[in-house]
A and B are shown apart, each in its own frame.
Chain A
Amino acid sequence: MSSTPSGPTTSKADDDQSSPSRQPLHWGHLVAENGGYLLARLGAANIDRRWIFLLMLLAVGIPVLTKATFPEKPTANVKAVFNHIEELKPGSRVLVSMDYDPASAAELNPMAVSFLRHLASRGHKIYLMTLWPAASPLINENTNEVLNDEFAEKNLEYGKDWMFLGYQAGEVVAIKKVADNLRALFPTDARGTSLEKIPMMEGIHSLKDFDLLLNVSAGYPGAKEWVQYATTTTRTPMAVGCTGVQGPQLYPYIPDRVLGILAAIKGAAEYEAALSEKYPRFAEPRLNEGLQRMGPQLWAHLLMICLIVAGNILYVLSRCFPLNVYGVGANSHRADVTPAPGGPA
């Protein structure tokens, strides 16, 4: 490390070998002084937070525009859920509670769509419901897109192959009611049809009558409450797709109470990868929103790591070389140090 001609380390002491105040310059001083000088010149100590917002916008926006994606490999958690659905006999009854809303759709909608695709591919009977009022339009959109359009050749029939029970208020009390007596909670389905008139509701009275519970959960009420108020007593196998925030709270339930967890967009992308591997018709990029959203994740995380590292380096430099208001090193008051260009006369 050598001093730059314009830097603060060009000192009179360097020229005056006989000066009694001359101290041998340690490399640490050089780094600190030059680093501090650069820090001041860049304005890093006072960097406006909006530059960071702009960098983050670019880190996320450019991969979206370039459609940058990366391969994903399913982890054990995701495989456990995928394999369980694969191993269920075709025609098994699966209750899917989609407890999320548009605010968490970015993370959870890819999971919900993947679950629907997988269940429909395996020929399971799908019973949809939600405890979140804003989920109904999302469920209608997903069922239209997946069950009606993508599986048009299978001609899946409402009431025989799939149905939507609708939204129900009551939060944990509603969950308890589903576990004990589902028909008392839902007198009709979402379309106003009595459950007595729906063929696939025959023999369904409570959660115990389902072969699997899939929960797409964004918060309260969600996966944790389903475990606490329903599956602990009914012992119905349960798998969860949840937001990243919920992930750490739910991991302790694996594997006794929950088969596996798809946490955050990473879990969704892994499930899409597993589904595409088994069913190549779903490998089309436009059908894999989760995988598409992992590209921006990579660049945004790299940016954050760089910022954290840079912030720590600058912090250490600022401790070694405190700045004054003129943006040059604290040692600039020393007579033997030439002030930085642009500094005080």
Chain B
Amino acid sequence: MNQSADMASSTDPGVAGTPPRDFWWKFQISLMVVGLCFLVGWGVYKQGLYGTVYVQAQTIKAQNNTLLPIYTELKPNATDEEKAKGFISWQRTLGVWLAAAITLAVFSSLFRDNMFYKLAESLMVGVSAGYWFVVAFWSSLVPLVFAKLLPDLAQATVLPGLQIPPGSWQIFGYTAPDLSALFPLLLGAMLLARLIPSFSWLARWPLALIVGTMAGLRLVLIIESDFVEQIRSTILPLIVMVPNSAEAGAPLKIDWLLSLRNTSIIACVISSLSYFIFSIEHRGAFGRLSRVGVFVLMITFGASFAYTVMGRITLLTMRLEFLFKDWLQFDWLL
């Protein structure tokens, strides 16, 4: 797309047929004013209650018989009676408003790059990294390392449901640690040695183990699933005969549709593969075959791209649904 009309670079005299160079400034300001007026007006209409989240408090009994409060979130379309039994959760309400603001900040990058988009982008990266670290800690390090090395302490503190096998060894009245957990812990620590230049060579050992394991796994399993199985699936009858009727011993007839499908699969596979054979010059009959293969590949890439586009539209749909339903709470959509 031509960038000459972009207001960031609108110092040129302009091109006939394009909007005037200050058009986007006016458009931007008008849009902001209209948007703000709408938000205020909608707030007045909804009596200030949009983007709010109601919760209901319940009490559950924990395993150690202590009573714990839990809060169930009410849907935006909850009745007034249900809402009257609950109350507004300001934390969750803030979450909805924050999510709406971040969504709009990300959308704003379509207009042009700006600080709100950059802020949203940085937040996304930071929150994702933090979330991944916490999840990995509690789902891997705690149950697979901490619970094995200090089972009694893990059971008493963070994993009350941890089952310690009855015949486990005891040392001074405590369950003996499973020292095999030290090995992966040590390998993990060695990976971090890359951060210290003088000890960076230590990281080669766990890396070698990872590469070797993956190569071994892939060599055996992928050859079977993606090579042998795929070849087997391509060995198809070119002419498919099916019974004429459901009766036993009925005469056979040709299933033209299935035959055409099988033939096209085989033709597409052979032509696609021929394109990647570079030891034969792509001329004459072989050249034409590989040319067909290029078309098959292009159709495949086109299908992939079309699916990708469909996915991106769905993402936009979901964000608009969030803005309209959860944030603005349009009555007819709830």
Contacts and interface: CB of A to CB of B under 8 A. Distances in A.
B217 A176 contact: yes
A288 interface: no
A45 B16 CA distance: 10
A326 B143 CA distance: 71
Interface residues of A, number: 77
User: Quick one: which of A46, A67, A169 has the most chain B CB within 10 A?
Assistant: A46
B127 to A, nearest CB: 10
Interface string A185-223: 001110111111100000000000000000000000000
Contacts of A105: 318
A228 interface: yes
B233 interface: yes
Interface string B309-334: 11101111110110010000010110
Contacts of A48: 1, 5-6, 18-19, 24
A194 B161 contact: yes
A27 interface: no
Contact of B308 (A60, A232, A245, A292): A245
A322 interface: no
Contact of A194 (B158, B163, B221, B308): B163
A106 B315 CA distance: 6
Contact of A297 (B24, B230, B313): B313
Given A43-B19, A304-B309, A64 B321 contact: yes
Contacts, number: 190
Given A48-B6, A172-B217, A229-B217, A187 B162 contact: yes
Contacts of B205: none
A228 B316 contact: no
Interface string A272-297: 00000000000000000000110011
B139 A45 contact: no
A133 B162 contact: no
B37 interface: no
Contact of B314 (A41, A61, A107, A187): A107
7 contacts: A43-B18, A106-B318, A134-B131, A194-B163, A243-B311, A245-B307, A296-B317
Interface of B: 1-2, 4-6, 15-19, 24, 110-111, 128, 131-132, 135-136, 139-140, 143-144, 147, 158-163, 213-214, 217-218, 221-222, 224-226, 229-230, 232-233, 300, 303-304, 306-311, 313-318, 320-321, 324, 330, 332-333
